[in-house]
Structure formats: structure tokens, C-alpha cells
Amino acid sequence: MPRLGSWIESHPEGIYVRPADAWIDPSRPKAKAMVTHGHSDHARGGHQAVLATPETLAIMECRYGPQSGGQGIGYGENIRVGEVDVSFVPAGHVLGSAQIVLEHKGEKAVVSGDYKRRPDPTCPCFVPVPCDIFITEATFGLPVFRHPDTGSEIDRLLHRLHADPSRCILVGAYALGKAQRIITELRARGHHDPIYFHGAIERLNHLYQDFGVDLGELRHTGGATKQEMAGHIVIAPPGALNDRWSRRLPDPVTAMASGWMRIRQRARQRNVELPLIISDHADWDELTMTIRELSPTEVWITHGREEALKHWCMTHQIKACELNLVGYEDEDD
């Protein structure tokens, strides 16, 4: 009996599926790549052939220009790649994000990419697929990481906004996914005022709108006066928070939406006055809940704090190992 998953190999530059002769989220250009989602640490440009959801392909084109050899695969569609049956199912992480389900000779493996379990108005919810091998991320793989309810974090933001209408709230949020999610979460909480945005997120806002995500009324900060922006929310990439650019804003309260805001020191490093713990990754409870639910024989753990989750698996009689992939960073936290 061959070792479980002996047809899937872990290399520093990505996961190689031998009977498909294809790489998953490789960090270097390859002849054939399957891409879980559009964050730059997973989706690199320059592959000869790319298999991804139509949304992810559109995000890659938006970021890297036209990608020859892109093949769109919708959620739930089944295709054969070499000797492997492949399907993409929602991961609930960002627009177009997918888990890649691989079946070969009666063995099923799920590569989760990045994922979360709580609802996100910009993408369909994570679909649990029971499997033999579950390859999971562990960005927040420590029991200290328990993300609070998203609605209550959004309420804190709105409360602060209404407390002083002469100021604006500048929210740092990653350009792909987090920025659009914050906007839609605000809309879901009844905030229908115009929301201002930094130019760096404009193209991705349009892309989300093209795929039917309703962002409400948005305005570019360029050309707006301080007076106009007072009492409003401004969304910008995290790098802009302490940038000269922010001087054009009316006495901004600096906020940041990230799972890392659980760590006070991280908030202090960025001079964040209003830390909002809103993450696009599974927290500790979601990671362990997911593993229980899928009940895999083996769990392979990638980028993040692997050790604690590995230990948790062992104590629950599940074989677990760490994969040493390089190049995964938290563009998306």
C-alpha cells in the first residue's frame, strides 16, 4: 500500500501534483499552475497555463496584465487534469477564492489555500469537503487568535465615526478583498453614506463591481476637500496610513482592519488608534472546527504558526505534518 498522498509533493516553491503534472500556487513561473486565489503570494504572473476561477483570472489580469493560457473553472465544475479529477469549491476568503479538490486512485485531497468560515458579503461561504488529506493554512494557528464578531467591530467603527463629525476615519485595509469587504460590511450595517477611497484600490473596486458586488456610492479622495471628507470613512491600503498622502484628510482617526490587530504591539507599530479585528483567515476555533468537520486521515499545515495546530491534531489522533513552503506572506491577513 503506497503512503497516503504519495502523488502530492511539497516543495519550497509550492505543491506539485505529480499525476497532473501541475503546481498549486507556485511561487515561480511554471508550465501548468492551479491558483487558489488572487493574493500575490499565491497568484504569480508568468505561468504558461493557469487554471483558476474566472474571478481569480480577472484579478491576475488586473494585477499582471493579460495572462496567456488562462483557463477559467467555475465553482463545482469538474475537470480532468492528467490523471487527476479536479474541482474548485468556495474557500470564503476573497472574491473568487477556491479550495482545490484533487482525486486520484480513490484518494481525495483538499488544498484549502487561504480560507475563513464566517460569512463575507463579497464571496460565497467556505464549502466543507470531507477528504483523506487536508492541506490547511495556519496564519492564525494559535489559541490566542479568536476573531470577534465582525458586526460588533463594524459597530465600533461607526460609533467612533459618529462621535466626532469634524474628523474622518481612515481605515487601513488590504487592496484585494479586505477593502471591499469592509465597504460591504458597512453597507450591511446600514451605513449608506459615500465612502472615500485611496486611488490604489480603485481598480479592484471596479473589478468587484463588475462581478456583481454592490459597494454603494464610492468617491475618490483625489479632488475632494477636507470639508467634504469630514464625518466620512476613507479606505486606503495599510501602507498609506502613515504616508504624506494622509495629510490631505480632515484630522483622521487611524484605524486598521486585520486579524493581527489582536496583537496590541502590531497596532502600536502602525500608530493605529482604532484597531479592528477583522480577518479573512480562519481563527483558531475555525481551523480546529474545520478539521473536525472534514475528519481527514492526515493534515498538512502550511504558512503560519504550524506547531500548535500540529499538536492539536496529534492529540485528536490525526496525523499531521508541516510543509515548508516559502514566499507566503500576509498580504491579506
| Subset of 3-42 contacting Zn ion (CB under 5 A) | 39
Between residues 39 and 63, which has the closer beta carbon with respect to Zn ion?
39
Q: Which stretch binds Zn ion (CB under 5 A): 63-71, 109-117, 140-148, 216-224?
A: 109-117
Between residues 168 and 173, which has the closer beta carbon with respect to Zn ion?
173
Between residues 114 and 286, which has the closer beta carbon with respect to Zn ion?
114
In the complex, minimum distance from the CB of residue 79 to Zn ion, in angstroms, rounded to a whole number: 23
Distance, CA of 48 to CA of 234 (rounded, Å): 39
In the complex, minimum distance from the CB of residue 37 to Zn ion, in angstroms, rounded to a whole number: 6
In the complex, minimum distance from the CB of residue 39 to Zn ion, in angstroms, rounded to a whole number: 4
Residues present in the chain in total: 333
Size of the site for Zn ion (CB under 5 A): 3
3-class DSSP assignment, residue 309 = helix
In the complex, minimum distance from the CB of residue 147 to Zn ion, in angstroms, rounded to a whole number: 15
Distance, CA of 36 to CA of 34 (rounded, Å): 7
Q: Which stretch binds Zn ion (CB under 5 A): 11-19, 112-120, 206-214, 294-302?
A: 112-120
Enumerate residues 6+ apart whose C-beta is below 8 A from 263: none
- What are the φ and ψ backbone dihedral angles of 288, each rounded to 5 degrees? -70, -35
Other C-beta atoms closer than 10 Å to the C-beta of 202 total 14
Between residues 5 and 177, which has the closer beta carbon with respect to Zn ion?
177
Between residues 298 and 332, which has the closer beta carbon with respect to Zn ion?
332
Between residues 56 and 67, which has the closer beta carbon with respect to Zn ion?
56
Nearest to 134 by CA among 329, 309, 333, 326: 309
3-class DSSP assignment, residue 210 = helix
Enumerate residues 6+ apart whose C-beta is below 8 A from 54: 72, 74, 96
Per-residue binder mask for Zn ion (CB under 5 A), 198-237, x = binder: ----------------------------------------
Instruction: List the one residue from 137, 153, 283, 332 that touches Zn ion (CB under 5 A).
Output: 332
Per-residue binder mask for Zn ion (CB under 5 A), 264-283, x = binder: --------------------
| Subset of 37-96 contacting Zn ion (CB under 5 A) | 39
Q: Which contiguous run of DSSP H or E holds residue 172? A: strand 169-172
3-class DSSP assignment, residue 133 = strand
The reply on whether position 114 binds Zn ion by CB under 5 A is yes
Per-residue binder mask for Zn ion (CB under 5 A), 134-163, x = binder: ------------------------------
DSSP readout, 249-307? SSSPEEEEE-GGGGSHHHHHHTT-SEEE---SS--HHHHHHHHHHH--SEEEEEEE-HH
Between residues 286 and 332, which has the closer beta carbon with respect to Zn ion?
332
Between residues 185 and 332, which has the closer beta carbon with respect to Zn ion?
332
Cβ contact 270:243 at 8 Å: no
Residues near Zn ion, by CB under 5 A: 39, 114, 332
